[in-house]
């Protein structure tokens, strides 16, 4: 198959979240399975400063935006450690900016125009590069117009007439919602601005557009595909998702084990695998305690958190439980991340007041994130919602037991430890359901009871570390979804 993945982010060129990880890893895994894959994305400033080799193609673009013509060009690079080509849509007025989507907490006012240009440039690039595309894989609202253009302006037009589309929702909360008059920028007929297709409470909605026109829709976990069909996680789009549920599915994201593997990770004080986990984790724990200024105590449970200090990630629950536990429990807490100012202030004060129990680095450090994954005994992910989640998958590989709220991808990947699941070998963490401090506290109590029982704890570690959440696993499911979508579109064309 010939696959073109259209995205606004791909590691190492540009990233704000999980979309960048997926777009940087999935194409490589697909290529390793023998598929022909290309990636196309905007030439953001970060693309040109990331240090990867980028070269001009000599191909210029002329794109209609409303009543004007905007010029751009195509650049080319490759995903690192692969032969997967990446094409970059260059238009410096739109993309040569400090950030991808906005600054100082405010979206760029011309985001609609920027991603209309990008979407039309993707389709023009297919023609100018003479790309053979069986399926166009669009991702999130920034590419939501692509299925619409193929179904409307380009319907029946070579070389677009048999291109199938898959639209992947990475986070439904971000929808690309714009003023209704911005419809004029798209070049699409006003008849599509209706509540079935592109209109959402009087506005133009790019996410809804992708959902309405794509041949197939998927999300980054099966549970999230179910959750978004109802309120509140449907974010107002539950109606169209229910309507299109026959072509809606979920595939768990994978992990790049070349980057997240305790046996080879250069960031760690000691490398280890399942057979050497006890000694290896003990060395990593002691090194982490020392680095973070905590007492080096092997038997005291160390609870880790890496992520945004935001309520989506359950940081309000962590803060509440920590405040209750810090004087009554011997547990140590290590936090890494940035986010809401009130949590910065809270954790700074707690680290000052309880230096033997709380350590917080309110910044982001990739090397430290690896060391927290390896050195912690327990990893906290009490998310309010979580489309997929990656840290729980990293934690499994590192033998660090996740404590999660059973939502989205967390529910799909973490099996709650009970007598039955421990006996069957399925248990790999601890889950709770109600979004409350009490529910998290009870889950942590169960976790630390298991921690005190070393045979049980070691069994959990072995269960976790021997699971396969690699991109190869996920890519095989994507290949199957691509094939099914292409075949269905061919049948529809024939009939």
Task: Render each residue's pLDDT in the chain as its tens digit; 495 residues.
Answer: 999 999 999 999 999 888 999 999 999 999 999 999 999 999 999 999 999 999 999 999 999 999 999 999 999 999 998 999 999 999 999 999 999 999 988 999 999 999 999 999 999 999 999 999 999 999 999 999 999 999 999 999 999 999 999 999 999 999 999 999 999 999 999 999 999 999 999 999 999 999 999 999 999 999 999 999 999 999 999 999 999 999 999 999 999 998 899 999 999 999 999 999 999 999 999 999 999 999 999 999 999 999 999 999 999 999 999 999 999 999 999 999 999 999 999 999 999 999 999 999 999 899 999 999 999 999 999 999 999 999 999 999 999 999 999 999 999 999 999 999 999 999 999 999 999 999 999 999 999 999 999 999 999 999 999 999 999 999 999 999 999 999 999 888 766
CA distances for 218 relative to 110, 231, 254, 308, 311, angstroms: 28, 18, 15, 25, 25
- In contact, 205 and 176? CB cutoff 8 Å: yes
Do 100 and 118 have their domain in common?
A: yes
Q: For residue 259, is it within any domain?
A: no
Residue with tokens 């037991």: 401
Closest CA to 422 of 385, 392, 382, 462: 462
State residue 364's pLDDT score. Answer: 86
State residue 495's pLDDT score. Answer: 65
State residue 26's pLDDT score. Answer: 97
- In contact, 52 and 80? CB cutoff 8 Å: yes
- In contact, 387 and 408? CB cutoff 8 Å: yes
The rounded distance, in Å, linking the Cα atoms of 191 and 444 is 54
Structural domain of 141: 2-254+472-494
The rounded distance, in Å, linking the Cα atoms of 320 and 257 is 34
Q: For residue 348, is it within any domain?
A: yes
Do 230 and 283 have their domain in common?
A: no
Do 439 and 483 have their domain in common?
A: no
The values of phi and psi at residue 43, to 5°, are -85, 70
Do 220 and 278 have their domain in common?
A: no
Tokens in use for 360? Answer: 């917080």
Q: For residue 269, is it within any domain?
A: no
The DSSP element (H or E) to which 188 belongs, if any, is: none
CA distances for 143 relative to 185, 342, 346, 360, 423, angstroms: 15, 34, 39, 37, 46
- In contact, 379 and 304? CB cutoff 8 Å: yes
State residue 369's pLDDT score. Answer: 95
CA-angle at 376, arms to 375 and 378, nearest 5°: 155
Do 249 and 284 have their domain in common?
A: no
Do 447 and 482 have their domain in common?
A: no
The rounded distance, in Å, linking the Cα atoms of 92 and 78 is 21
Q: Is 58 helix (H, G, I), strand (E, B) or coil?
A: strand
Residue count (the chain): 495
Q: Residue 254: how many CB atoms within 10 A of its CB?
A: 24
The rounded distance, in Å, linking the Cα atoms of 80 and 10 is 11
Q: For residue 262, is it within any domain?
A: no
Q: For residue 51, is it within any domain?
A: yes
Do 334 and 480 have their domain in common?
A: no
Do 29 and 115 have their domain in common?
A: yes
Do 343 and 463 have their domain in common?
A: yes
Do 480 and 434 have their domain in common?
A: no
Q: For residue 482, is it within any domain?
A: yes
- In contact, 278 and 377? CB cutoff 8 Å: no
Tokens in use for 196? Answer: 């079935």
Tokens in use for 374? Answer: 């390896």
The rounded distance, in Å, linking the Cα atoms of 371 and 302 is 12
CA distances for 265 relative to 14, 257, 261, angstroms: 23, 10, 6
Provide the CATH number for the domain around residue 478: 3.40.50.2000
Task: List 74's β-bridge partners, or say none.
Answer: 89
- Tally of domains within the chain: 2
- In contact, 301 and 451? CB cutoff 8 Å: yes
Strands 248-250 and 302-306: unpaired
Do 236 and 281 have their domain in common?
A: no
User: What is the DSSP-derived secondary structure letter of residue 267?
Assistant: T
Q: For residue 177, is it within any domain?
A: yes
CA-angle at 477, arms to 475 and 479, nearest 5°: 70
Question: b/e per residue, 147-181, with b = 16+ CB within 10 A?
Answer: bbbbbbebeeeeebeebbbbbbbbbbebbbbbebe
In terms of Cβ atoms closer than 10 Å to its own Cβ (0-12, 13-18, 19+), residue 266 is: exposed
Residues in CB range of 227: below 8 A, 6 or more apart: 233, 234, 385, 407, 408
Do 323 and 290 have their domain in common?
A: yes
pTM: 0.93
Residue with tokens 């240090």: 51
- In contact, 3 and 36? CB cutoff 8 Å: yes
Q: For residue 266, is it within any domain?
A: no
State residue 104's pLDDT score. Answer: 87
The rounded distance, in Å, linking the Cα atoms of 391 and 381 is 8
Q: Dihedral angle at the C-alpha atoms of 391, 393, 394, 397, nearest 10 degrees?
A: 160
């Amino acid at each position: 198959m010939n696959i073109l993945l259209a995205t606004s982010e791909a590691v190492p060129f540009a990233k704000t979240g999980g979309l960048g990880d997926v777009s940087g890893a999935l194409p490589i895994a697909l290529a390793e399975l023998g598929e022909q894959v290309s990636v196309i994305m905007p030439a953001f400033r970060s693309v040109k400063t990331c240090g990867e080799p980028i070269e001009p193609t000599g191909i210029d673009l002329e794109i209609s935006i409303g009543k004007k013509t905007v010029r751009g060009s195509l650049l080319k690079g490759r995903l690192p450690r692969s032969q997967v080509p990446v094409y970059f849509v260059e238009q410096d007025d739109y993309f040569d900016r400090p950030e991808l989507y906005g600054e100082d907490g405010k979206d760029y006012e011309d985001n609609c125009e920027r991603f209309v240009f990008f979407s039309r440039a993707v389709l023009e690039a297919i023609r100018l590069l003479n790309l053979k595309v069986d399926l166009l894989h669009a991702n999130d609202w920034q590419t939501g117009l692509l299925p619409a253009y193929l179904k409307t302006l380009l319907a029946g037009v070579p070389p677009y007439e048999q291109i199938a589309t898959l639209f992947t929702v990475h986070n439904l909360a971000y929808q690309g919602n714009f003023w209704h008059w911005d419809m004029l920028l798209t070049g699409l007929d006003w008849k599509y601005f209706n509540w079935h297709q592109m209109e959402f409470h009087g506005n133009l909605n790019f996410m809804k557009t992708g959902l309405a026109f794509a041949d197939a829709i998927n999300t980054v976990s099966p549970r999230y595909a179910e959750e978004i069909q109802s309120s509140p996680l449907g974010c107002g789009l539950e109606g169209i998702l229910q309507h299109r549920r026959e072509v809606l599915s979920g595939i768990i994201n994978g992990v790049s084990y070349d980057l997240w593997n305790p046996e080879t990770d250069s960031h760690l004080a000691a490398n280890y695998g399942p057979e050497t986990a006890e000694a290896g984790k003990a060395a990593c724990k002691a090194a982490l305690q020392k680095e973070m200024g905590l007492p080096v105590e092997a038997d005291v449970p160390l609870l880790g958190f890496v992520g945004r200090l935001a309520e989506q990630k359950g940081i309000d629950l962590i803060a509440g439980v920590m405040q209750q536990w810090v004087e009554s429990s011997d547990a140590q807490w290590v936090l890494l991340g940035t986010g809401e100012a009130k949590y910065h202030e809270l954790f700074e004060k707690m680290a000052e007041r309880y230096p033997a129990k709380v350590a917080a680095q309110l910044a982001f450090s990739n090397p430290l994130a690896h060391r927290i994954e390896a050195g912690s005994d327990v990893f906290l992910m009490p998310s309010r919602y979580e489309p997929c989640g990656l840290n729980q998958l990293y934690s499994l590989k590192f033998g660090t037991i996740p404590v999660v709220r059973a939502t989205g991808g967390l529910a799909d990947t973490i099996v709650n430890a009970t007598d039955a699941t421990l006996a069957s070998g399925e248990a790999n963490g601890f889950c709770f359901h109600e979004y409350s401090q009490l529910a998290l506290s009870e889950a942590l109590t169960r976790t630390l009871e298991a921690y005190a029982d070393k045979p049980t704890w070691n069994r959990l570690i072995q269960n976790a570390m021997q699971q396969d959440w690699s991109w190869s696993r996920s890519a095989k499911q994507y290949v199957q979804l691509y094939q099914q979508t292409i075949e269905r579109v061919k049948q529809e064309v024939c009939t």
